Amino acid sequence: MKRFFQIILFLLVWQTANAQQINLIRKGKSSYKIVLPAQPTMVEIQSGKVLQDYLYRITHVTLPVVFDTEKESPYEILIGKVDRPGQQSIPYEALGKDGLLIRTVGKKLILTGGSKKGVLYGVYTFLDQYLGCKKFAADVTYVPRQKTIKLNAIDDLQLPAFSYRETYYSEAWDPEYLDWHKLSTHLGKNEEKSEWGYWVHTFGTLLDPKEYGEAHPEYFSYYDGERHAGIIPSWDGSGYQPEAQLCLSNPEVLEIVCANLKKAIEKNPDALYWSVSQNDNVRYCRCDSCAALDAKYAAFSPEEKKLATHSGQYAALGMGSMLSFVNKVAERFPDKIISTLAYQYTRTPPRGIVPRENVNIMLCSIESSRNDPMTLGDKSFSEDLVGWGKLTNNIIVWDYVIRFSNLLAPFPNLRILQPNLQFLHQNRVSAMFEQGNRDRGGEFAALRTYLISRLLWNTEIDIQKESDEFLKGYYGAAAEDIKTYIHLLHDHNQSGEGVKMSIFGSPVNDKETFLSAALIAQYNAIFERALKKVEKEPELYVRVKSARLPVYYAVLEIAKAEKAGPRGAFVADENGRLKPNPAIVSLLYEFVYHCVRTGVSRITEWHTTPKEYLEKYMTFLADPGGDNK
């Protein structure tokens, strides 16, 4: 009798499960249609066509795209706000702009979402998470081949962890990559207007020292006993930049900035965000009035809060005058969001003043170490973040995820990506700008872009699973070797108090830790194994060689610093005179050739193409007796 009831229970469970299943496509045939609203939006049209395209790629079955004016059928895939029973139960208000919903109702499949691109995000998420398609890189898409698509019951409502999600890598600017991974962009990529009218470091645009400096030096920073109203060459070589900042307590400065901002808004009225923010330097105004505002609203004394980056050491005491000024600007433009930087000397939240509701705080973590999560490696920044979260929830964090001074250097920060984003999400950060490599190439550019993009949507993903899927899809049979290399690199990256892996560091800084001679030898052995496994697959072979470039670069940079010795760029000839080490020369040629072949555009942010790197290195090698500076 007990066995009888077990069988009955099994049959009931099986029948229930079977009733919930949908045979979307079976053995190369389907009764389903893709249904659009009678007057679809551009996003709904795109969503329907994307789904039709990928279902064909998977099964070689083309489902017809029809409108909801057709007679209803049990076998429908409903895209967006179609006129069908049950639509009233969809919580569109809860979905906001970007939320998505994937749901089965009877034999129907619903793919819909929020008012901006939620429907399209729903389609790509369905393809990715339910059909096994993957967009690993702009030029690497995995589509499984099968004749049957069977679905179990689905009720999946997803909301993004952050309302704005930008992965600032050139890899992510591909239109489909942006949509697939549900990314934002302030650059207006993907044939849509950017929500940003101005994007950071705008004081020089809103009040140009070239126009006002000579006649009105009082508009600019006072320090070291004088006003600084000049211009200097731009650090990126593109022209000029202001020497310092604005005098924010000067009422005429407010009027000029607001007048120029008004003109800019009139030219681009649809843009919502307008940055009114400091120039990229720490030379802020210390006149009596600005200093009084900074002191009045300072949460710390100058001795209590010292920060340091490539700009030198400075006190984070400038937000009092800054926020006072920005609040006044925001009051003039209540229908716009005025964004300002909390960056370097303005990073620390003030006391006694809060941002207006339409003020966005762009908080920057430029000082943070990248070998530990920021809660451990940069407690000062973590405290500032928590402090800002008590004042506002209109916060975008500008984070930095690569080694900008050496774009191809090994940079083992992959293990901190998730804990950092989880911490930021838990502390009222509403938007994220993850600054990667704007140039082509760079150390693990495709992997880092992929993982960051996934985390920006959902900080709680299984990061190891995501990483493993990427490595398998991107490197094929070499995946396990690449994974071994990544783990070895990270396992030997020092961490703890007083240890800092800077975004402006060099491989030379790490030559005794994760770039020791012994580890370099292990890395090269791993890559030799990996290359052998994919030697008959040209695309994978090239990708593995690209993954090895950072090891080559580290060897070259350390050799240049060492000059002579076991790791040096020079060896002694039979007469004891230094000459270029043939192994280093060969490695240099291989490194530069592969960079050029694969389109690597820069070795350092904004500077040094691969060919320029070769020229400089050859000049160095030609002078073994000089100081080679």
pLDDT in tens, 396-405: 999 999 999 9
Rounded to a whole number of angstroms, the CA Rg of the chain reads 28
For residue 82, the Cα-to-chain-centroid distance in whole angstroms is 34
89/35: higher pLDDT: 35
Q: Which residue has the higher pLDDT, 374 or 312?
A: 374
Please report which confidence band the pLDDT of residue 587 belongs to, taking 50, 70 and 90 as the band edges: very high
Is the pLDDT confidence value at 251 over 80?
yes
Return the amino acid letter for 506. Answer: S
- Confidence class of residue 191 from pLDDT cuts 50, 70 and 90? low
- Find residue 578's DSSP bridge partners: 572
Average of per-residue pLDDT across 412-438: 97
Indicate whether 17 pLDDT > 70: no
SS3 376: helix
Q: Residue 345: what pLDDT?
A: 95
What was the pLDDT predicted at 626? 66
Band of residue 470 on the pLDDT scale cut at 50, 70, 90: very high
CA atoms within 13 A on the CB side of 603: 24
CB-CB contact of 280 with 243 (8 Å)? no
Backbone angles phi, psi at 166, to 5 degrees: -115, 125
Q: Sign of torsion, CA 310 312 317 319?
A: negative
Reading phi first (left if > 0) and then psi (alpha if -120 to 50, else beta), residue 190 is in left
pLDDT at 494 over 90: no
Mean pLDDT across 371-387: 95
pLDDT for position 309: 81
Relative orientation angle of helices 319-332 and 251-267, to the nearest 10 degrees: 50
In the predicted model, what is the mean pLDDT of residues 158-183?
96
Of the pLDDT bands very low, low, confident and very high (cuts 50, 70, 90), residue 499 is confident
Q: How many CA atoms lie within 13 A of 374 on its CB side?
A: 25
CA atoms within 13 A on the CB side of 513: 19
Instruction: Give pLDDT, residue 575.
Output: 87
Report the pLDDT value the prediction gives residue 108, as an integer from 0 to 100. 96
| C-alpha torsion sign, points 322, 328, 329, 330 | positive
Token pair recorded at residue 439: 């140039």
Enumerate the CATH 3.30.379.10 domain ranges in the chain, comma separated.
Answer: 20-159
What local confidence, expressed as pLDDT, does residue 7 receive?
A: 38
pLDDT of 315 higher than 90:
no
613 pLDDT higher than 80: yes
What is the average pLDDT across 16-22?
61
Torsion-angle region of 626 (φ positive above 0: left; ψ -120 to 50: alpha; else: beta): beta
Confidence of residue 601 (pLDDT cuts 50, 70, 90): very high
User: How large is the average pLDDT for residues 276-293?
Assistant: 97
Q: Which residues of 417-456 are buried (b: 16+ CB within 10 A; e: fewer)?
A: bbbbbbbbbebbbbbbbbbbbbbbbbbbbbbbbbbbbbbb
Separation in Å, CA 152 to CA 59, 108, 503:
18, 12, 46
Residue 2 has pLDDT above 50, yes or no: no
Q: What pLDDT, on the 0 to 100 scale, is given for residue 628?
A: 42
Determine the distance from the C-alpha atom of residue 311 to the mean position of all C-alpha atoms in its chain, rounded to a whole number. Answer: 23
Q: Cα separation of 250 and 217, whole Å?
A: 11
For residue 485, is pLDDT > 90? yes
* Sign, CA torsion 230/235/236/237: positive
Question: Of 571, 541, 544, 566, whose CA–CA distance to 555 is shortest?
Answer: 566
Nearby residues of 524 by Cβ (< 8 Å), 6 or more positions away = 548, 551
Average of per-residue pLDDT across 403-416: 96
pLDDT per residue as tens digits for the range 36-69: 999 999 999 999 999 999 999 999 999 999 999 9
Residue pointed to by tokens 């194994």: 529
If one compares 216 and 309, the residue with the highest pLDDT of the two is 216
Res. 495 pLDDT band, cuts 50 70 90: confident
The helix/strand/coil state of 303 is coil
Phi/psi at 267 (nearest 5 deg)? -80, -25
pLDDT at 616: 96
Strand partners, 226: 223
Range with the poorest average pLDDT among 187-201, 444-458, 471-485, 507-521: 187-201
CATH architecture of the domain formed by 20-159: 2-Layer Sandwich (3.30)
The C-alpha atoms of residue 195 and residue 173 are separated, in whole angstroms, by: 16
Q: Which of 347-351, 377-381, 572-576 has the lowest mean pLDDT?
A: 572-576
Task: Tell me which residue of 304, 316, 381, 323 sits closest to 344, measured CA to CA.
Answer: 316
- pLDDT at residue number 3: 47
Mean pLDDT of the chain: 93
Per-residue pLDDT averaged across 588-601, rounded? 97
Interval 132-155 mean pLDDT: 97
